[in-house]
Structure 1
Amino acid sequence: MRNTLHVLGLGPAGLETMTLGTYRLILSSDKVFMRTNNHPCVQDLILEGARFESFDSYYDQGQSFEEVYERIVKRLEEELTVHEEVVYAVPGHPAVAERSVQLLVDKLSSRFRIVIHPSVSFLDGIFTAIPMDPIQGLLIRNYDALRGSELTGREWLIIPQVYSSLIASDVKLDLMEVYPDEAPVMIVQALGTQEQIVRKVSLYELDHQQFDHLTTVLVPPHRDVISMAKLEEVMKTLRSPGGCPWDREQTHETLKPYLIEESYEVLEAIEHQDMYNLAEELGDLLLQVVFHAQVAYEAGEFEFADVLRGIIHKMIHRHPHVFGEVHVDNSEQVLKNWEEIKKEEKREERAKGWFHFPQALPALMLAAKTQKTVAKVGFDWDDYRGALAKVHEEIQELQEAIKSGEGIREEFGDTLFALVNLARFLKLDPEDTLRGAVHKFQARFEKMAEMALGEEKSLENMTLEEMDFYWEKAKRDEKSGNIVGNV
C-alpha cells in the first residue's frame, strides 16, 4: 500500500471553525506540517499539545510564491518516502485558493496516496460577514491573476490574501482598468474571529488601508465595468426591442460602408501618429465587429464566441514556433511556415482557383496580393530590373494607345499594375506610397495657396504660369524643411 499524505484545512479562524476530524488527526499524527503559522488557531493547537513544523522559513528564502510551493512539495515528497503517513495543513479549505495543494496533487499523486479532507473555507465566513448571495455570480481570483479575467460587473469578485499595501496597489491598478475609480470595495480582516473588521472604501483608496495575511478584498457587482463582455451587452441592448431604432434596422449590407470608413480612420490616426485618436478609432472599428456578430447571432448564423474561437484557433495553428515544437531562427522562416500552413488549410479551395482573398480590396492592394500569389509559384521577374523594364514597356504602350485613341483605359491599368509590381521588388507598399505622395501634394498646394494669399492674390484668378511660380516656390520651401506633410 502506498504511503499517504493527508491534506487538511484549518478553517478560516480559530479552533471553533475547524472540523473535529481535522483536530483529531493533527493531535494524533507524528508528522504534521503547517504551510504557515500565521493563522488564528495555531497557538490554540500548540496549547492543545499539537506538534508540527512550519514552512514559514521558506517564504523568507524564496524569490516567489511558486518557488516556495515547489520547495514545500519537494520536502513533503522526501517525508513520504520514509513515513507511511504525513499530514499537511493549510489555512481555510485545502481545495479553495490553495496553489500548494494543486501542485501536490499534480506532482505526487502518481506515487503516493493523497487524501484531501473537507473543511470550512474562508468563503463560508465571507457569506456571513458580507450581505451577499453567491447565486448573483461569484468569481475568485488571486491578486496576480486579475488581468484578462473578463469581468462583466454582474458578479462578486473575491481576492484573497491581499497581505500588503504593495499587493493592494497592484490590485487597485488592475481593477481600475475595469472598474470606475470610485467603485465601492470591501476589505475584510480577521475573518471569523472576534477581531473581524469589514471596511468599505472607494477603489482609488484601496492601497491606503492596513493589510495583513488575513485580508480579503471584495468588489460588489457594478454596472460600469469595461470589458468585451460589457461591449457585447451594450450591443445586445441597442439591438433589443427597447433599444435604438437605427441600430435595430441595420444589416450586414447596410453596415458595409461604416466598416470601410472606420478602417480608414484607423489608418489616418496611424499616419498622423495620433495615439489618443487611434485608441478611439480602434474602438469604433471593434464596434463594427461586434455589430456584425450580433446581427449574425440574431439570424442564427454565428455568434461572437465563434469569431473569437476561429481567430484563436487559427493563430495557435499558424504559430507552431510559439505554441508547438517548431523551431525558427528569423522572421523569414516564420513567414515561410505561415504560408505552408495556409496552403494546407486552403488545399481544397486551391482546386477551385488561386486567388482566395477579397476581390473588393482597394485596387492597389488587390494588385499587390495577386502578384505575391503568382510569385510564390515562380511566375515572377528575377529582380527589380525586369519589373522596371515592364513599366517602361507599359508606358510606351500607353503612349501609343493615346495616339491612336484606342485601348487607353486598358493600357493605363496595365501601367499601374506594372508599377505595383515594381513597388513589390523595391519593398514598398504601393497603397502607403501613393497615400504619402498625395499628402505631400496636398501640403505643397496648401503652402502655394498660402503664399499667394500673403501677396493678396487668389488662385482662382491666376494663370497656370503664375500658379506654377508659387508651386516651385513652395517646393523649394518643402526641400528646405519648411513644409511638413503627412507622408
Structure 2
Amino acid sequence: MINVLHVVGLGPAGLESMTLGDYRMIKQAKRIFFRTVNHPCAQELLTEGLQVESFDDLYDQEESFEKVYEGIVKRLEKECKIYPEVVYAVPGHPTVAERSVQLLVDKLAKQVEIQVHPALSFLDPLFSAISMDPVEGFLLRNYDALKESGITGKEWLVIPQVYDGLIASEVKLDLMEVYADEAEAYVVQALGTKMQKVLKCQLFELDHQSFNHLTTVVLPPHKAGISMAKLLEIMKTLRSPGGCPWDQEQTHVSLKPYLVEESYEVLQAIEAQDMYNLAEELGDLLLQVVFHAQVAQEAGEFQFQDVLRSIIEKMIRRHPHVFGDVEVSNSTEVLRNWDQIKQKEKGEQESEELFSFPKGLPSLMLAVKTQKKVAKFGFDWPDSEGSLAKVYEELQELEEAMGHGKGIEEEFGDTLFALVNLSRFLELDPEDAVRKTVGKFQRRFLEMKKLAEDEGENLLNLTLDQMDKYWEMAKMREKNEEIGNNP
C-alpha cells in the first residue's frame, strides 16, 4: 500500500478561514509539518495543543528560498518512507503562490500518493478588500519574478509576501520600468483577519510603508504602462477613425522610405556610440515594424502576433546548438548550420536562386554577400595578395578606359568590386569603412572652413591651392588632438 502525503491549506487568516474537513483531518493526524508557524491559523492550532514540526529553521540556515524548498522536499520524502500518512500544511491555498508544493508534486508524485486539499487563498479576501473584480484580468507574480514577466499595466497586478522594506524597494524599482512613478498602489496587511489594513500610496513611495510576511502589494490597471501592448494600442488608435490623418493614409509602399531612413539613423547612433540616441532610434525602427503590422492587420494579411511567431520559431529552429542537441565548437560551424537550415526551409535551388538577396540592399553590402556566396564554392582568392593584385589590375583597366573614353562606368564598378573583395580578406566592412571616411572628410572640411573664416577668408573666394593650405592645417589639428587623447 502506497503512503500518502496530505498537503493542506491553512487559509489566509485564522481558524475561521480553514475548512472543517481539513481541521478535523489535521487534528487527527499523527505526523504534521508546517512550512511556517508564522501564520494566524498555525498559531491558533498550536494553542489548541497540536504537535507539529516546522521548517522555519531552514529559512535561517539556507541562502535562498529555493534551497529552503528543496530542504522541505528532502525531509518530507524521508518522512513519507517511514509513516503511512504525513500532513504538510501551508498558508493560504496549497497551489496558489506556493513553490514548495510545486516541487513536492514534481519530485514525489511517483513515490507517494499526494493529496492536495483545497482551501481559501489570500486572493479571496483580497478581491473584496479593494473591490477588485478578477474578470477584469489580473497577474499574480512573486516579487522576485517581475522583470520580463509580461506585465503590461492593462490588468491588476498582485504581488504577495512582500515582507520587508528591502524587498519593497526592489519591487518598486522593477515596477517603475513599466508604471509611472505616480501610479496608484495598494499595500494590504493581514488579509482576512481582524488586523486587516488597506493602505493606498503612489508607487515611488511604496517602500516607505510597513511590511511583514502577511503583506500583499496590488497595482490597479494603469493606462500609462510601458509595454509592447501599449505601443500596439497607440498604433491602432492612430490608424482608427478620429486618429491621425497622415497615419491613416499610409501603406506598405508609402512607408518604405521611412523604414530605410530609420535603419540608417540606428546605424548612425551606433557609429557615434551614442547609446541614449540609439535607444530612441531603435524605438523609431520598432515603430515601423508595428506600423506595417497594423496596416497588414487592417487588410486581413497578417497580425503582429504572426510577426512574433515567425521570428520566435525561426530563432529556435536555426539555433539547434542552443535549443536542441546539436553540438558546435565555434561560430563558423554555427553559420554553416544556419545556412543549411535556411536552405532546407526555403527549398532553395542553388542553380536558380543562388543570389536570392534583397535587390534593395546597399551596393557594397550586396557585393560582400555575393562574394561570400561564391566563395563557398571555392571561387575566391587564396589570400589578400591575389585580391590586392586584382585591385591594381582593375585600376589599370579603368585608366585605359578613361583614355579611350569608353567603358568607364563598367571599369569603375569592377574596381569598386575588387576593393570590396579585398576588404573581406582584411576583415573590414566596406560600408563602415566608407562611412567613417565620409565622416572624417566632413569633420575636416568643417574645420577647414572654420580656420579660413577665423582669418577672415571665405572659401568661395579661395583658389584650390589656398583651400588646400587650410585643409592641411585641419588635418594637422585633428592629428594633434588624437595624440593628445591617446598619450
TM range (shorter): over 0.9
Aligned equivalent of 1:172: 172
State how far apart, in whole Å, the 1-side matches of 2:176 and 2:228 are: 15
Q: Which one-letter code corresponds to 1:270 in the other structure?
A: I
Does residue 446 in structure 1 map to residue 449 in structure 2? no
What is the aligned-residue identity percentage? 67
Call closer, same or farther: CA 1:125–1:350 in 2, change over 3 Å: farther
Aligned equivalent of 1:54: 54
TM-score, normalised with respect to structure 2: 0.96
Aligned equivalent of 1:423: 423
Q: Which one-letter code corresponds to 1:275 in the other structure?
A: M
Aligned equivalent of 1:389: 389
Does residue 365 in structure 1 map to residue 365 in structure 2? yes
Bigger drift between 303-312 and 119-128 goes to 303-312
Aligned equivalent of 2:272: 272
Shift, 1:278, TM fit: 1.1
Moved >6 Å (runs of 4+) = 482-485
Aligned equivalent of 2:142: 142
Q: Which one-letter code corresponds to 1:84 in the other structure?
A: P
Q: Which one-letter code corresponds to 1:344 in the other structure?
A: K
Preserved contact between residue 364 and residue 430 of structure 1 (Cα < 8 Å): yes
State how far apart, in whole Å, the 1-side matches of 2:200 and 2:448 are: 64
**How is 1:447-462 mapped onto 2 (pairs within 5 angstroms)?**
447-462=447-462
State how far apart, in whole Å, the 1-side matches of 2:484 and 2:139 are: 53
Call closer, same or farther: CA 1:484–1:137 in 2, change over 3 Å: farther
Deviation per CA, 1:204-240: give whole Å up to 9, x if none: 1111111111000000111000001111111111111
Preserved contact between residue 136 and residue 154 of structure 1 (Cα < 8 Å): no
Aligned equivalent of 2:404: 404
Bigger drift between 104-113 and 11-20 goes to 104-113
Deviation per CA, 1:90-143: give whole Å up to 9, x if none: 100011111111111111112211111111110001012111111111110011
Aligned equivalent of 2:480: 480
Q: Which one-letter code corresponds to 2:437 in the other structure?
A: A
Does residue 334 in structure 1 map to residue 337 in structure 2? no
Shift, 1:296, TM fit: 1.0
Aligned equivalent of 1:116: 116
Call closer, same or farther: CA 1:107–1:46 in 2, change over 3 Å: same
State how far apart, in whole Å, the 1-side matches of 2:124 and 2:481 are: 71
Preserved contact between residue 443 and residue 484 of structure 1 (Cα < 8 Å): no
State how far apart, in whole Å, the 1-side matches of 2:263 and 2:232 are: 20
State how far apart, in whole Å, the 2-side matches of 1:250 and 1:371 are: 37
Preserved contact between residue 183 and residue 222 of structure 2 (Cα < 8 Å): yes
Does residue 356 in structure 1 map to residue 356 in structure 2? yes
Shift, 1:317, TM fit: 2.2
State how far apart, in whole Å, the 2-side matches of 1:161 and 1:377 are: 62
Shift, 1:27, TM fit: 0.4
Does residue 285 in structure 1 map to residue 279 in structure 2? no
Shift, 1:482, TM fit: 6.7
Does residue 215 in structure 1 map to residue 215 in structure 2? yes
SS at structure 1 position matched to 2:33: strand
Bigger drift between 342-351 and 131-140 goes to 342-351
Bigger drift between 106-115 and 476-485 goes to 476-485
Q: Which one-letter code corresponds to 2:61 in the other structure?
A: Q
Q: Which one-letter code corresponds to 2:147 in the other structure?
A: R
Shift, 1:455, TM fit: 1.6
Shift, 1:8, TM fit: 0.7
Shift, 1:327, TM fit: 3.5
Does residue 44 in structure 1 map to residue 44 in structure 2? yes
Q: Which one-letter code corresponds to 2:408 in the other structure?
A: I
Deviation per CA, 1:427-459: give whole Å up to 9, x if none: 000000001111111111112111211221111
- Where does the alignment leave 5 or more consecutive residues of structure 2 unmatched? none
State how far apart, in whole Å, the 1-side matches of 2:204 and 2:330 are: 45
- Indicate the RMSD between aligned Cα atoms, in angstroms: 1.7
Report how many aligned residue pairs link the two structures: 485
**How is 1:466-477 mapped onto 2 (pairs within 5 angstroms)?**
466-477=466-477
Preserved contact between residue 240 and residue 248 of structure 2 (Cα < 8 Å): yes
Q: Which one-letter code corresponds to 1:227 in the other structure?
A: S
Deviation per CA, 1:457-486: give whole Å up to 9, x if none: 11111111211222222222233237999x
State how far apart, in whole Å, the 2-side matches of 1:237 and 1:477 are: 53
- Where does the alignment leave 5 or more consecutive residues of structure 1 unmatched? none
Preserved contact between residue 172 and residue 204 of structure 2 (Cα < 8 Å): yes
Preserved contact between residue 9 and residue 93 of structure 1 (Cα < 8 Å): yes
Shift, 1:380, TM fit: 0.7
Aligned equivalent of 1:98: 98
